[in-house]
Each structure stands twice: as C-alpha cells, then as structure tokens.
Structure 1
Amino acid sequence: MPISLAASRVLIVDDNEFNRKSLALMIRRAGLTQIEVAENGVEGLRKVESFRPDLVLLDVSMPVMDGLEMCRRLRERLTHEELPILFQTALDSDEEQVRCFEAGGSDFISKPIKPGECVARVRHQLEKRKLFTDLANFRARVERELKHAKAMQLSLLPEPRELEAVAERYELVLDAHFETSSELGGDFWNVYPLDSHRVAFLLVDFAGHGITAAINTFRLHTLIDRFPMQHVPPSEWLAGLNRALKEVLPVGQFATAFFGILDLHTDTLTYASAGAPNPVVGIAGELRLLDSAGLVLGASRRAVYADRSLRLPRGSCLFLYSDALIECSGPDNGPIGQDGVPGLLRGAIAANRARPLGPLLERFYARTSLPLRDDLTAVWIARRA
C-alpha cells in the first residue's frame, strides 16, 4: 500500500532563487504542496523552528551560513536528530560526500539537479521518516498502555498498609516481594482475613509471563470473589477455582497455586496445593520443605485436591515463592533448585531474623542474571513469639 505524503512538509534552503523555484516545482509535481523556502542557513534555522518540516533540501554553498554549518547546528538539537536533510551540491566527489555525511546529512543530490532523481530521493527520505514516526508513535502508545496495565496489575496485590493492618490484627510478620520479568507478569498473591482468628494466604503462578499471563491474573481476580473462603476447606475452595479457570483459560494455559488457612486458636495451618513450589516451614529453628503436590489449575475439571495440616505455633514461619526463585540462574551459578531454598532461607534468617526476606533476595540476585527469565513472588509469613 503506497504511503501518503500529502501532509509532509519540505523546507528548501538555497541562496539561488532559480534553484528554489525549480526545486519547489519538482516537488509539487510529486504531490507535495506544503513547501517553504529560505535563502541561507540562518534563515533556514528559523524556518525549521516555525515551519517544522519533515525534510530539508539544503544547499552546501551559501552566504551568511552555509549548509554544512546549518546541518551541524540542527544535529546538536535533540528534536532534530532524526530530521532528514538532503544536501544538494555541485561537487560530486568522495571528499564532498564525506563532508556532507560528517555534518549529519541523510543523503545528497548532485547538481545539476535531475528531476527524477530528486523526486525519488525526497520520497524515499519522507517515506522512511513517516515509517519511523509511525513506529515511534506506536511504541509510545504501547508503552503507555503497558504502564497503565502494570499499575492495574499492581493494584491487585495487597498494599503495604493493608499488610501492616493484617499483620497487626493476627500478630504476624508479613513481608513480600513481587517482580515481573517484563512489563507484565503472571504471578498473583494476596492475604484474606476470614474472621477473628483465621487468615488465608493465596499464591498463584500462571504459566509463561508477559501480557498473556497478566490477562490470566485479571481473570483470576474476577473469579476469586465468586468463591467465599470462610466455610470450606482449602481443597474444596481450590477445586472450585480450578473448575472456573478451566472454563476461561485458553487451551494449554494453566497455573500452579498454594492456598492455606492459618487458625490462630488451634495453631494449625491447613493448606491445599496445585503443583506449587514446595513452601518452607520453620518450627523451633528447623526448616523443612512442605509437600505441595497437586494437579495444576486449569488442566482438568475433575481435578481433586487434598488438605494437609501442620502445627504452626507462635515463633514459627512460612515462606512461599514462585518458581523463578528456584529456576533462574547466573553465568557462574546454576539454579538454586528446590532443595536449595531451606539453605538460602537459613542464611537470610542468620542475617536478619526479624525480616529475612531482604537478605534472601540479596543472595538470590547476587547469583542470578538480570533481567529475570520469569516472574518472581516471595512471601514471608511469621507468627510473633
């Protein structure tokens, strides 16, 4: 499809009136009607600012300020770094061409001007500029939309003030980190107060990352309110969520998940899992991995999940994370792996017993290449002693 150049603006800078009129006539015959002229480089610089051309046809030899100097001054301005500048010169030599390009010229036309060549080079530069401009505008629009989408995704996560309120209400220490590998990601986590003595935790990691995975987190968020958590065990709640996700997820897309309910009256954590990375539980100074086996969400409507329970008394802790923590690696280090998480956490606790998530992430990033290849979520939950 031909590119329309009807709206393109051309500035002709030449000290010879006959040349100005001849060039303007050639360009008009090519369908370009928005044309402005200047007699030297000084006037040309003023016309560039007022006329805002899409291309400058610039003579090299002129009084007051020649074309080379005008071109150099334009290139010093960020707004004109990409402006096409087409030199016209009577000196058709390698040295002259080098001078034009070193000054910042985009191309040149040899005098005497050949109408066919002139029109072809003008159209080529204008078409290229329009393509670059359209691409830049498209990229800027996409970046704006991604920025808004990222803000929306972050709004799905618990805010710091909300975490502080929940932590105070249930006498917990809550610390979390969320990072996407690109503008958007497929991780989701949240905390849900159920009643005066029960609080629930959910971490979901959709397959892949980027826009597709992020859309799935929005789907998930709209579904969660359809399944009240207060009166069902975690396994039943996870099964209901799985059936709903199976209806809306495209074929081949799925998610891992951990859903647990902490009962402060009985000091019990009851949880169900859908193939999530094994959480780490810490009791009386001993760290161990929990069993988190289970069919991923969205794979089968008939998936059945099991409830598992353990004591989580005061002073104990629970660490949840997405698989980026165990799968990302660096040039000199392989992935940490599932079995390496307790050791990583143990070192972080030794560095900061009250808030070990910060030291843990420092150790992780010290051995991992950036940007991450997958989205990372890490949640530290501890009962106050």
Structure 2
Amino acid sequence: MVVGEPSISQESLSGCILIVDDVDLNRLLISSYLSKGGFENLHFAVDGIDALEKIEQLNPDLVILDLIMPNMDGFEVCRTLRKQAIYQDLPILVQTAMSEPEERVQAFEAGATDLVSKPLSPMELISRTRIHLENRLLLRDLKSYQSRLTRDLEVAREMQKALMPAQNFLDHVENDLNVRILYQYESSDELGGDFWGARDMEDGRLFFYIVDFAGHGVSAALNTFRLHSIIDQAETIPSPEIYLSDLNKLLYRLLPTEQYATMLCGFIDVAAGTIVYSSAASTAPMIGRPGSGEVRLLDPAGYPLGAMEQATFERREVPFAPGDLMFLYSDVLTETPGRDDRSLEEEGLLELFRKSLTDSRTELSICEIMSGNIEQVLKRPYQDDMTAVFLRALDR
C-alpha cells in the first residue's frame, strides 16, 4: 500500500479490474501502480472490441479505460456498455489527456463514471480505484439487501392474503347461511394493517368483521397476525359490543403507545332480516340494493381499539332484507387523492356505490363494477392496503 493512502478492505483489493489500453507500456505502467497499491486481480484488453469480450467473460468490478484506441475507441465502449442493464452500474474510470471542459463532458455523456488525467499520478489512480471499488461493493451489498427485503416483504404480503377467508368457506356461507360474499383486497408496496373475516355461528347467523391497524410496515403487519390469532381462538362471541370491549382491553395491554386499530363487527341474521353490529371508529358501512339508488349510511361511531382501556361500545341494529347488500371498506378508498387531486371522502364513495348499484351490466358482479368505478376515479399507487367487502342477503 502506498504511504498516506487510507486503508482499504481486502475484498476491495481483490476486486476484478480490467485495464483497457492499446499501448503496452501504458498497461504495464497502470498495473505496476495498482500492484504497489495492493490490488491483485488485474486483467488486460488491447482495444475496445477486446474490452467488450473480456467484460462479458470476467464481469469486472472496475474498468480503467483509455479513450483513444484503434478498432473501437473508449467512447463507443462506454455507450455500448450503458445500453445493457447488467452494466448500468459498472464503474468506468476513463484515463484521458483531454483538458477542455467540453471534451470531458463528452466522456461523461458517453457513460464514464470518473476521469483520471494523463500523465497518470500513482496516488490519484490508486485513490480513485479504491473509491470506485468500495462504492461498487457497497452498491452490491445494498442491492443484495434490497433483494432479500423484497422477497421477505412478498412472503409477508402473501401471509396477509392468507388471513382472508378461503373460497370454500365463502361457498359454504352462500349455500348454508344465504349470504353471498365478494371481496377485493390489494396490498400496498409497504406492509399494511388491513384484514377482514367471517365465522358461521351455530344458530345460523354469520359473524363478520373488518379491521385496520394504524400505520404501515412490519409493526402493523405483526399486529394483524396477532389480532387474527386472537379472533380465531375466541370460543364464543356473545354480542358485538361486548366482543369489542374485550378485544379493546386486551389490545390496550398488548399494543405500544399510539398504536391502535379500527374495527367493525356484527352478526347477519338472514332469517330475522337484521344486522346487529358495533363499531370501533371504523369506516361507515353502506347498505343498498342492486337496481335501486337508495343507500343507507350506517353509524360507525366508537373508540379505536387499544386507545383507552375502559372504552365502551354501542350495539346497533338495522334491517337487512333479502336482496340487500352491505359494503365494507378500508379508509384508503376515502382518503386517496382522485384524478382531480381531491379525495373521495365518505360522500364521494357513497355516490360511487350508488352508481354501481344502478349499473345495468348484469354479467358483472357488484364487486367488479365498483372496482371499475373506483379505478376510474382514484390515483394509483394506493398508499395503503385496499379492502372492499360486499355481503348480500339471498332470497331462497
């Protein structure tokens, strides 16, 4: 190592360096400087065509490139490499005697990463080689980390999707409980905290719920798995308001400060023609009837789960006749900016629901129609998970 040079990792010293120059003496001089600097994995090419062949063979970590060469010059080598995605980030250190700014700009426009001036200074060459090899390793490590993170996030998103009811359960609910359920779920780029579910009760009622944890990321996802497990393990559900009260006390002890969830749950009783529900600050459920423009907006008032230990929740009952359709949704649909840069809010979403209910395309489900109408209005990408659930009482 040259005296006065900063320390460099052994991994950088062993990085693959391709020296491209048509003059034997220049290649020898560069390799001598780099060898004295501790670099040991040196390879050579005598012109641009040879360089491209060696790069394909070696996949080097750094190219030290002369610009003026026969057959193919350094400019063309740079342009050829930058057209290929695999070499977009390959450091190209150009050695040049050009002194005019316009000439140096040409080198950068062709794709050079950096320049080193001729006649070569050993200290400058070693220093720039060190910097670009270290950056190359850091970039490689970052890409590897991002790749692992992307895979892990995809696994987590698939696990979240697996929390949703399976199709065979939905078929059972339709055939045995006379409730048809359609839903759409889209995960955002980040992990979110949305999920919904349902359980058939022994007395023929259907218990349903929709949950949205505050925030995004790993903590929100972990909270969804935690709460889903708690809901799954519940042996009895006496009433929606008591159930929310019990969940609230449990989550108040489990969740860190400033973490909370909104939730709506209830029972659909097709035989009695009613929905009994309770809300923990959820989005407002909507009930309408396909073919009709009449839509009822239900009261969603309540305390978020986990925010206050002694919170109480209100029991509400509404009629739900055969043919009626209830729409549950996550707040991304009311809060995402539309194509006019204004969010739909509750009133705008209600109008979209009303429009969907009166759509004459009988070959499409209400879920498909509503999805299409939302797509026309809202901007993507959504900044949170999107959940839309439709539950319809059947007349049999």
What TM-score results when the alignment is normalised by the length of structure 2?
0.88
Shift of 1:334: 3.5
Supply the distance in 2 between the matched residues of 1:339 and 1:91 (Cα, whole angstroms): 66
Encode CA deviations 1:358-385: one digit per residue, 9 max, x unaligned.
3333333333222234433221111112
C-alpha spacing 1:319/1:63, structure 2 compared with 1 (3 Å): closer
- 2:321 corresponding residue in structure 1: 313
- 1:287 corresponding residue in structure 2: 295
Shift of 1:158: 1.9
Letter of the 1:53 partner, please give it.
P
SS in 1 for 2:358: helix
Encode CA deviations 1:181-229: one digit per residue, 9 max, x unaligned.
4332111101211236121111011112343322221121121123224
Supply the distance in 1 between the matched residues of 2:347 and 2:67 (Cα, whole angstroms): 71
User: Does structure 1 retain, via aligned residues, the 8 Å contact 2:173–2:180?
Assistant: no
C-alpha spacing 1:182/1:65, structure 2 compared with 1 (3 Å): closer
Shift of 1:143: 1.3
2:197 alignment partner, one of 187, 190, 202? 190
- 2:244 corresponding residue in structure 1: 238
C-alpha spacing 1:316/1:34, structure 2 compared with 1 (3 Å): same
Give unmatched runs, 5+ long, in structure 1.
none
1:82 alignment partner, one of 89, 92, 95? 89
- 1:209 corresponding residue in structure 2: 216
Name which of structure 1's ranges 110-119 and 38-47 shifts more when overlaid on structure 2. Answer: 38-47
- 1:364 corresponding residue in structure 2: 374
**1:130 and 2:137 correspond:** yes
Letter of the 1:7 partner, please give it.
S
C-alpha spacing 1:114/1:148, structure 2 compared with 1 (3 Å): same
Shift of 1:263: 2.4
**1:273 and 2:283 correspond:** no
User: Does structure 2 retain, via aligned residues, the 8 Å contact 1:181–1:209?
Assistant: no
Supply the distance in 1 between the matched residues of 2:18 and 2:341 (Cα, whole angstroms): 58
- 1:380 corresponding residue in structure 2: 390
Encode CA deviations 1:12-46: one digit per residue, 9 max, x unaligned.
12233322222112112222111112223333222
Encode CA deviations 1:127-171: one digit per residue, 9 max, x unaligned.
232232222222222211111111111111123443233222222
Name which of structure 1's ranges 331-340 and 344-353 shifts more when overlaid on structure 2. Answer: 331-340
User: Does structure 2 retain, via aligned residues, the 8 Å contact 1:60–1:66?
Assistant: yes
Residue pairs, 1:8-27, within 5 angstroms: 8-27=15-34
Shift of 1:287: 2.4
Supply the distance in 2 between the matched residues of 1:149 and 1:122 (Cα, whole angstroms): 40
SS in 2 for 1:225: helix
Letter of the 1:12 partner, please give it.
I
- 1:111 corresponding residue in structure 2: 118
Supply the distance in 2 between the matched residues of 1:309 and 1:343 (Cα, whole angstroms): 24
Give unmatched runs, 5+ long, in structure 2.
1-5
Letter of the 1:361 partner, please give it.
S
Supply the distance in 2 between the matched residues of 1:144 and 1:237 (Cα, whole angstroms): 36
Letter of the 2:309 partner, please give it.
R
Letter of the 1:330 partner, please give it.
G
What TM-score results when the alignment is normalised by the length of structure 1?
0.90
Letter of the 2:263 partner, please give it.
A
- 2:54 corresponding residue in structure 1: 47
SS in 2 for 1:380: strand
C-alpha spacing 1:384/1:52, structure 2 compared with 1 (3 Å): same
Supply the distance in 2 between the matched residues of 1:340 and 1:16 (Cα, whole angstroms): 72
C-alpha spacing 1:195/1:53, structure 2 compared with 1 (3 Å): same
Shift of 1:54: 0.7
User: Does structure 2 retain, via aligned residues, the 8 Å contact 1:255–1:297?
Assistant: yes
SS in 2 for 1:140: helix
Task: Provide the identity percentage.
Answer: 38
1:69 alignment partner, one of 57, 62, 76? 76
**1:254 and 2:264 correspond:** no
C-alpha spacing 1:76/1:232, structure 2 compared with 1 (3 Å): same
SS in 1 for 2:13: coil
Letter of the 2:274 partner, please give it.
T
